[in-house]
């Protein structure tokens, strides 16, 4: 049972880090997740006996490694219900995916064109577009958030224009936990002919993602936030949109022919995958996808919600805690402040109390400015967390208050 006597149990105990650190509560899943044993085992086996380069070799190991990577491409295609496997572009992570999208679109942007971002974006979805705007003369428009931490869709409805070329928005906020209404944004963008790029880093391990149902043009994720390896991610894009992008990384693997005077580039997905890819990491992503599919979204979402609701209720029961982000549609991400105590001090004391949280601006300084705080404390849940982790968090916060009484 997920929930016995009002207590939420872990969904999986197959995480070696969690076993090795018994008695310690890892609540920094928004930053990165621990690795499922199947991921570790697959990478170890692959590097131990199967490793070779991909795409180029005529020998058996290279062909098998290529096949292993392509299998993961197909697995990811199924995972997000993408129409075609060639639309799944392997990257090194969300930051690389968003840079590929932004700089890839730069040649289509003209002075005065609008790039629409939101106040809650992660720096990975701010800085590439800012750079592209500076180089093209495009203008950045920023969608405000409401007091509960949701996007102001009314504002959006009246501020997208014929000049809006792209809306780039996160699916789930890494600070507020808010799940944004992507289909609603897509409907507005379509009316003005704008493309929609979605930063799915915080969504991919928490809610089902069906890129066709969402209707977006691009969806970007990291492997390491979905119980898979670091150094690998996916940029999915519609074939028509991907085909308009200039490559972001030029070099080996992405070319058709190279002469001393010029080069021609290969088709999708290779055109956007310059250089030797993170082969072992791509292979290791496969079991992470399989793990999430095996557990299933109904259980993952019920577990995430049970922990979020329990933690929210119990934190609100403590004096001096303010929670940032109170949308009714949230994932298991809770940002909060402790009155009179800086988040850094909270983080150090919680670590002494065997709890890992993130403290700081969460790479979302524009959002911190809107919230009027320099930093927050963030607890974010994963499949191995349970009510016991919330017990430790609450006990740790009581210790914080005892030190700073």
Partner 1 sequence: MSRLEQLYQQLILDHHKAPHHFGEADPVTHDAVGNNPLCGDMYRVTLTVVDDRLIQVKFSGTGCAISKASGSLMAVALTGLTVAEALALKNRFLEFLNADGDPDGLGKLAALGGVRQFPARVKCATLVWRAFEAAIESGGHPVSTE
The contact set with partner 1 (CB under 8 A) reads 341-345, 348-349, 352, 359-361, 365, 368, 374-375, 399, 403-404
What is the full DSSP assignment across 131-175?
HHHHHH--EEEEE-B-TTS-B-HHHHHHH--TTEEEEEEESB-TT
In angstroms, give the least distance from the CB of 354 to partner 1.
12
**Element at 9 (helix H, strand E):** none
For partner 1, the closer of residues 227 and 324 by Cβ is 324
Eight-class DSSP state of 18? H
Number of H helices, E strands in the chain: 14, 17
For partner 1, the closer of residues 130 and 399 by Cβ is 399
Are 236 and 218 in contact, with CB atoms under 8 Å apart? yes
Q: Which of 197, 177, 176 is nearest to 242 (CA)?
A: 197
Phi-psi region of 177 (alpha: psi -120 to 50; beta: other; left: phi over 0): left
Are 201 and 221 in contact, with CB atoms under 8 Å apart? yes
In angstroms, give the least distance from the CB of 399 to partner 1.
8
Please state, as a whole number, how many other Cβ atoms lie within 10 Å of the Cβ of residue 151.
23
What is the full DSSP assignment across 77-112?
HHHTT-S-GGGEEEESSHHHHHHHHHHHHGGG--TT
Verify whether residue 353 is a known catalytic residue: no
For partner 1, the closer of residues 293 and 369 by Cβ is 369
In angstroms, give the least distance from the CB of 318 to partner 1.
19
For partner 1, the closer of residues 144 and 374 by Cβ is 374
Identified catalytic residue from 69, 266, 353, 363: 363
For partner 1, the closer of residues 41 and 345 by Cβ is 345
In angstroms, give the least distance from the CB of 341 to partner 1.
7
In angstroms, give the least distance from the CB of 336 to partner 1.
16
Are 403 and 323 in contact, with CB atoms under 8 Å apart? no
Question: In whole angstroms, what is the distance from residue 393 CA to residue 3 CA?
Answer: 19
Active-site residue numbers? Answer: 363
């Amino acid at each position: 049972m997920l929930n016995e006597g009002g207590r939420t149990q872990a969904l999986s105990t197959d995480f070696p880090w969690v076993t090795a650190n018994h008695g310690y509560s890892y609540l920094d899943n928004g930053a990165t997740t621990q690795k499922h044993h199947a991921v570790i085992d697959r990478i170890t086996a692959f590097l131990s006996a199967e490793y070779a380069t991909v795409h180029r070799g005529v020998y058996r190991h290279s062909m098998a490694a290529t096949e292993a990577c392509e299998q993961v491409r197909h697995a990811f295609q199924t995972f997000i219900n993408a129409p075609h496997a060639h639309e799944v572009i392997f990257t090194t992570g969300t930051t690389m995916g968003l840079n590929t999208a932004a700089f890839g679109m730069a040649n289509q942007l003209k002075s005065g064109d609008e790039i629409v971002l939101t106040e809650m974006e992660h720096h990975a979805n701010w800085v590439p577009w800012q750079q592209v705007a500076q180089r093209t003369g495009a203008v950045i428009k920023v969608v405000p958030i409401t007091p509960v931490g949701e996007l102001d869709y009314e504002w959006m409805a009246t501020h997208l224009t014929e000049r809006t070329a792209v809306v780039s928005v996160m699916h789930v906020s890494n600070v507020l936990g808010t799940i944004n209404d992507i289909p609603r944004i897509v409907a507005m963008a379509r009316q003005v002919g704008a493309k929609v790029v979605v930063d799915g880093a915080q969504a991919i391990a928490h809610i089902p993602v069906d890129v066709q149902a969402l209707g977006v043009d691009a969806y970007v994720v990291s492997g390491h936030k979905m119980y898979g390896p670091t150094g690998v991610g996916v940029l999915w894009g519609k074939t028509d949109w991907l085909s308009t992008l200039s490559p972001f990384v030029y070099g080996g693997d992405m070319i058709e022919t190279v002469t001393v005077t010029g080069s021609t580039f290969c088709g999708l997905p290779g055109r956007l995958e310059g250089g030797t890819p993170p082969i072992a990491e791509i292979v290791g992503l496969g079991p992470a996808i399989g793990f999430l599919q095996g557990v299933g979204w109904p259980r993952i979402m019920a577990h995430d919600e049970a922990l979020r609701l329990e933690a929210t209720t119990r934190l609100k029961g403590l004096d001096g805690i303010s929670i940032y982000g109170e949308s009714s549609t949230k994932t298991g991400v809770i940002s909060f402040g402790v009155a009179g105590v800086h988040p850094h001090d909270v983080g150090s004391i919680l670590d002494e109390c065997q709890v890992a949280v993130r403290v700081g601006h969460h790479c979302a300084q524009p959002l911190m400015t809107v919230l009027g705080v320099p930093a927050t404390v963030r607890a974010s849940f994963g499949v191995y967390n349970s009510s016991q982790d919330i017990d430790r968090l609450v006990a740790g916060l009581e210790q914080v208050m005892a030190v700073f009484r």
